[in-house]
Amino acid sequence: MTAISSNSAAAGNATCNLTSMETDALLGGLNVSDGHPRMALTETQRDIVESLPALFGEADKRPFEEIEAEAQRAFLHGIGQHHAPIGTGRLVSCYSSSVAMDITARALAHRTSHVALVHPTFDNIPDLLKGRGLTLTPVTEAELEQGEPDLPEEVGAVFVTTPNNPTGWVLPEDALRRLAAYCARTGRVLALDTCFRAQDARAQYDTYRVLQDSGVEWVVIEDTGKLWPTLELKAGFLAWGENTDLPLLEYFSDVLLSVSPLILLMIMKFAQDASTGGYTKLHGLIQRNRLALAEILGGSAVELTDPNARISVARITLPPDGPDAATLYDELVSDGTHVLPCGPFHWARQSDGLLQVRLALARPEDDVVRAASIIVNAVRRRLEATNAR
Ligand code: EGV
């Protein structure tokens, strides 16, 4: 296997973000690095791909607004979001959810200088917020779940990733209700990144109804990019409330006129397929891969960190007397296997992720099994070498 990398000594290099490691993993070798789906298409998904030339003709003929609303309805209603603001002018489609995130960051910076952000989370979220000049305060999942986080006065918005990446933690409905009431009462904007929610039924209560009922100023970012192996053909959706006083539509229009109606039609077809058996298959694959990973770790010194998670990535915890995550990452990369060290997810305190590594599960089962075995063997070799001394 060829080992290609420009990213050695990951944790020691401050300019090395998670996405740059994911980019290295695209060059070759065994890739359980990024959270994008890379398993095979199902039969019915392949039928949709084969219908793309016909969809092109349809996208060319029909009004954009109609296609967009249909795609948003198929996707969002399929994951329980019946009160999403479809057709109101407060739900726009973006090339990716990170584009929606950057628009949100810019709009939040128009309003406040400080944002409270869940800790840990994927590092491009703090990076995009900081990139728009915002100062961040870390908040733990437990504090958010309790509903009334103790925040400095200057914090003008709370940003939560739910389900969270990489932990799989989900903000429960009653906790969202408390948190929304708290933000409404204290005049703070509540922003939710729900990019992984289609993978976890526990995150599919109607978020929009809770937010609307609370009176809070809110923003929600949705994503179709974590579900289906569509070669980065996807969209992010950016929604906000009737009384949300942020220049979101203005900043959206600075970035784009619209996404492609062809991609929206394709998303509509994938969402329909998902609702009629596709999600069952997807959740089954992720569950089987998580179980296969747990089975290979069983009896070793490495443990599944979040056995209850349902999202398409899994953390594993390394033993304290073996290699740390950055060392293991480097060793695996030099052998052509790509995972992610979890330090950078802990954006305010990297050392919290020192002994955790993340594996992608939206993969063929064989990829997960091979990566898990390679990790178990690498850790065992190190432990044996240490004990022999
Ligand atoms: C994951 C990468 C960026 C992101 C990967 C991801 N995108 N940086 N804009 O999609 O968990 O691997 O979310």
Residue 123 Cβ < 6 Å to ligand 1: no
149: CA distance to ligand 1 center in Å?
27
Report the chain (389 residues): mean pLDDT per 10 consecutive residues.
Answer: 44 73 95 98 98 98 98 98 98 98 98 98 98 98 97 98 98 98 98 98 98 98 98 98 98 97 98 98 98 97 98 98 97 97 98 97 98 98 89
Q: pTM of this prediction?
A: 0.95
> Which residue, among 369, 235, 386, 358, has the nearest Cα to 297 in the 3D structure?
369
Phi, psi of 155 (to 5 degrees): -75, 120
99: CA distance to ligand 1 center in Å?
12
pLDDT value of residue 1: 39
Residue 31 Cβ < 6 Å to ligand 1: no
pLDDT value of residue 388: 85
35: CA distance to ligand 1 center in Å?
6
CA-based radius of gyration for the chain: 21
pLDDT value of residue 387: 86
pLDDT value of residue 125: 98
Whether residue 365 contacts residue 292, with contact meaning beta carbons closer than 8 Å, is answered with: yes
The pair of structure tokens assigned to 26 is 């695209």
Residue 124 Cβ < 6 Å to ligand 1: yes
pLDDT value of residue 92: 98
Task: State the burial class of residue 42 (Cβ atoms within 10 Å of its Cβ: 0-12, 13-18, 19+).
Answer: middle
22: CA distance to ligand 1 center in Å?
8
122: CA distance to ligand 1 center in Å?
7
Whether residue 69 contacts residue 91, with contact meaning beta carbons closer than 8 Å, is answered with: no
Residue 122 Cβ < 6 Å to ligand 1: yes
d(CA 162, CA 158): 13
pLDDT value of residue 8: 46
Residue 312 Cβ < 6 Å to ligand 1: no
Calculate helix-pair angle for 365-388, 279-297, nearest 10 degrees. Answer: 20
- CA-to-CA dists, residue 21 to 8, 83, 136, 168, angstroms: 9, 38, 24, 21
Pocket test for ligand 1, best of 33, 95, 124 (most atoms within 8 A of CB): 124
Residue nearest to atom 13 of ligand 1 (CA): 35
Could you identify the atom of ligand 1 that is nearest to the CA of residue 165?
Answer: 11
Helix, strand, coil percent values for the chain (each to nearest 5): 50, 15, 35
Whether residue 51 contacts residue 364, with contact meaning beta carbons closer than 8 Å, is answered with: no
